[in-house]
Structure 1
Amino acid sequence: MDDNWESKNVGTQSVDRAQQGTTLGYLVAEANAMNAKPVSSLRSADVYPFGDRGFDVRAKLKGLVKSLKPNPQKRVDSLFKKYQISSIKSSIMESSAFHDWTSKVMRTYKTNPEAGEVLMVSTLTAHYGDDVVTKMLHEAKEMPRTKAVAVKLQEAQLINWMTTGQTADDVFKLLKLDGKTENVFDDPAFRTWMSYVSKLNQKNPAKPIAIDVLLKNYYELDLASMIVSSKNNAQEKKNTILAHILTDLQTMLFKRWKHDDVTPNMLAGMYNYRAKFTKETPYIVTRYATFYKQID
């Protein structure tokens, strides 16, 4: 392939002409739906930050719609192969080959950098999988040399999931959070998932997507204890972002119990009957009793 290829066209995944209509139709529907109502989020951008552009979903989708054409993904894939990035065994994003690849793509998409970032994420995902790419990006954010590009690619990862129609359930599984036996909240991928859920909540702020997915994967009493335990650890480590996220989840769970007419006494009885008492149980029951008395 000619190394000097140039394209102002952009796609979010490798699609042929037959597939393009479906992808384009989805993007148009998403952009129109987001343009029809104001954007709100689960919390402020300070709680779920992926850079200053992290929640400008509407603008990105509209931009992708305008420029979507077939084959740009293949060109980015070809550059990935040319620089032999797949042969790098460790610290991929710190390598000179990765730097050369991203630089070439971004020069090509200098008038639409978000599109280039989404294409690169799609290529990386095809080679390594969503969970590995997520881990790679979290690790790269900790390194001064790769932090800037990692932040942009994290955001592009969320946009890529949205443009391909992934649900919160889908992404939970793609990140392999559904199979975790230890505390899921300690996995860096969980924060990525919550950032994605926040974007989905922009379309329907009243629907508690996160708690629905978690309750499909964990028994509610276990989930409550996990939330409190992880929140305490986050506060001790001064991880305010994770602490805020877990406080949100605790409130969502309490709202669910109250909606289901679970009284504090009933909750205590559930813990006793299920023999689920942990060191967090007294705190959970006490906090729920206070929450239960509040007027909606």
Structure 2
Amino acid sequence: MFNRVSIDDIFTRLSLNTAGNKIFEDPNLMTWAVFVTKVEKKNPEDIILAKLNSQYAPESLASMIEAAKKVSSTERFASVLQAQQRQVWFSTGESGDDIFKLLKLDETGTKLFESPQVTTWASYVDEFNKNAPNKKVSMLTLLARRYEEEDLVKMIEAAKKVPSTEDIAVKLQAELKASVGGGKSPENFFKMLKLDDTGEELFKSPAFPTWVSYVDHFNRKNSGEASSIFARLTKIYGEVKLAEMIETAIKTSTAETIAKRLQEQQNLRWLSKQKSPDDVFKLLKLDKLNSAVLSDVKLSAWLSYVKDFNLANPRKEESLLKTLTHQYKEVGAAKIIQQGKELSETKKLAEDLQVAQFTRWFRKGVSDDNIHKLLNVKTLDDPNMAIVDEYIKFYTEMMKTF
């Protein structure tokens, strides 16, 4: 009793009873802890934790200990206290669900992973399962009792992006894959996550990476039913719309990695079907756009394919100029290129194309005298006169080199 009175008295004399939630920032706490260690040789951690428990609500103390673990000067002390905290809870028969409520995590809603107490809870669930394997209950099972699967998936994805909760989220995601792997096809899982309601905003959904990860897991476990992510999405969106969505997503940092992976699968699929660049140009309906072709997002998909096609078929090398000329004829391609120079987003591409086109004409012997005939220009007010003027300038500069 004397020791107890002395310990409490020193705690008060050091003004620790008025330190509030900044007690771990107060150097007097360590002074008091050292004193307790000298007085209570056997279990000083019990005394320290009991005193702090008498001063603070469980959720507040858990949060303060978590914060103290992130500070080098208090990290070791806080870790010891947290371990003792877990031991006390386990010795009194507290379940993972009990501690969830004790820490008031049941009041956080979908903001669960924003609470610092969630790390304390997760560490206790691990400790409980380790010490009571016959009563083992996964974190996912405990959370599944409280959240709809769709909400939980989104919460886990968001938690993966925060360093303090990343490890917990990765573990939960692995448990989620294992739990749904027993019966749901990727298509059913897609619907369960309500990704079929996202429309063209699929890549923006926080649940999409989870689905991608699940498909990979499903394919490894079910080789007979394996199918690429691209193939599965093609069935849902069709090749044209999916290509457009992929190219848009590539420009978004949050979805770039997955989108590029899908683009690779897309190109491999077309290559395996021996599709020529002309075939893909038509497949993407780029042959119907006329002047809008250079600004269409699907052109990026086509250019990506041409790059892979040329690597696989060096003797059949294709180019955008060659395809534009084939699809829109010489004059049509020239008009598209000229109009593309008027838009800021296509200006550089159009200028490069025009140089390539003019170079080809020059090598074919088109001069400043017969360019009018090539472009069928008969009057000065002809819209193609601008192309004639541009070519004459180019031709004049080229002739200076001879």
Counterpart of 1:267 (choices 189, 197, 220) is 189
Counterpart of 2:120 (choices 192, 200, 220) is 192
> Structure 1 pair 102/219, CA: closer, same or farther in 2 (3 Å)?
same
| Distance in structure 1 (CA, Å) of the matches to 2:142 and 2:23 | 32
The residue that corresponds to 1:175 in the other structure is 103
The residue that corresponds to 1:244 in the other structure is 167
Residues 106, 116 of structure 1: 8 Å contact kept: yes
Counterpart of 1:136 (choices 64, 87, 90) is 64
**Gapped regions of structure 1 (runs ≥ 5):** 6-71
Deviations 1:86-107 (A, max 9, x none): 2223521233542332122111
Counterpart of 1:230 (choices 156, 159, 162) is 159
The answer to whether structure 1 residue 257 and structure 2 residue 180 are counterparts is: yes
CA displacement at 1:245 relative to structure 2: 2.4
Residues 66, 116 of structure 2: 8 Å contact kept: yes
Residues 21, 64 of structure 2: 8 Å contact kept: no
The answer to whether structure 1 residue 282 and structure 2 residue 208 are counterparts is: yes
CA displacement at 1:83 relative to structure 2: 4.8
The residue that corresponds to 2:140 in the other structure is 211
| Distance in structure 2 (CA, Å) of the matches to 1:147 and 1:173 | 26
> Structure 1 pair 173/275, CA: closer, same or farther in 2 (3 Å)?
farther
Residues 16, 23 of structure 2: 8 Å contact kept: yes
CA displacement at 1:267 relative to structure 2: 1.5
The one-letter code of the counterpart of 2:209 is Y
SS of 2:221's partner is coil
TM-score normalised according to structure 2 size? 0.48
The answer to whether structure 1 residue 95 and structure 2 residue 26 are counterparts is: yes
Residues 94, 145 of structure 1: 8 Å contact kept: no
The one-letter code of the counterpart of 2:35 is K
Higher deviation after alignment, 123-132 or 180-189? 180-189
Residues 156, 173 of structure 2: 8 Å contact kept: yes
The one-letter code of the counterpart of 1:291 is H
> Structure 1 pair 146/265, CA: closer, same or farther in 2 (3 Å)?
same
Deviations 1:29-59 (A, max 9, x none): xxxxxxxxxxxxxxxxxxxxxxxxxxxxxxx
Q: Give RMSD over aligned pairs.
A: 2.9
The one-letter code of the counterpart of 1:229 is A
SS of 1:145's partner is coil
Residues 110, 155 of structure 2: 8 Å contact kept: no
Deviations 1:62-85 (A, max 9, x none): xxxxxxxxxx7x885565456552
**Gapped regions of structure 2 (runs ≥ 5):** 223-402
The one-letter code of the counterpart of 1:214 is L
> Structure 1 pair 220/90, CA: closer, same or farther in 2 (3 Å)?
closer
> Structure 1 pair 108/186, CA: closer, same or farther in 2 (3 Å)?
same
Higher share in helix: 2
SS of 1:254's partner is helix
TM-score normalised according to structure 1 size? 0.64
The residue that corresponds to 2:84 in the other structure is 156
Identity across the alignment (%): 25
The one-letter code of the counterpart of 1:225 is K
| Distance in structure 2 (CA, Å) of the matches to 1:272 and 1:92 | 46
> Structure 1 pair 245/139, CA: closer, same or farther in 2 (3 Å)?
closer
Residues 149, 193 of structure 2: 8 Å contact kept: no
Larger-Rg structure:
2
Residues 208, 252 of structure 1: 8 Å contact kept: no
Residues 86, 127 of structure 1: 8 Å contact kept: yes
Deviations 1:165-216 (A, max 9, x none): 1110111111111111343223222111111111112132894421111112
Residues 19-98 of structure 1: pairs in structure 2 closer than 5 A: 80-81=11-12, 83-98=14-29
Q: How many residues align?
A: 217
Residues 76, 120 of structure 1: 8 Å contact kept: no
Residues 195, 207 of structure 2: 8 Å contact kept: no
The one-letter code of the counterpart of 2:206 is E
Residues 118, 159 of structure 1: 8 Å contact kept: no
Counterpart of 1:119 (choices 39, 44, 47) is 47
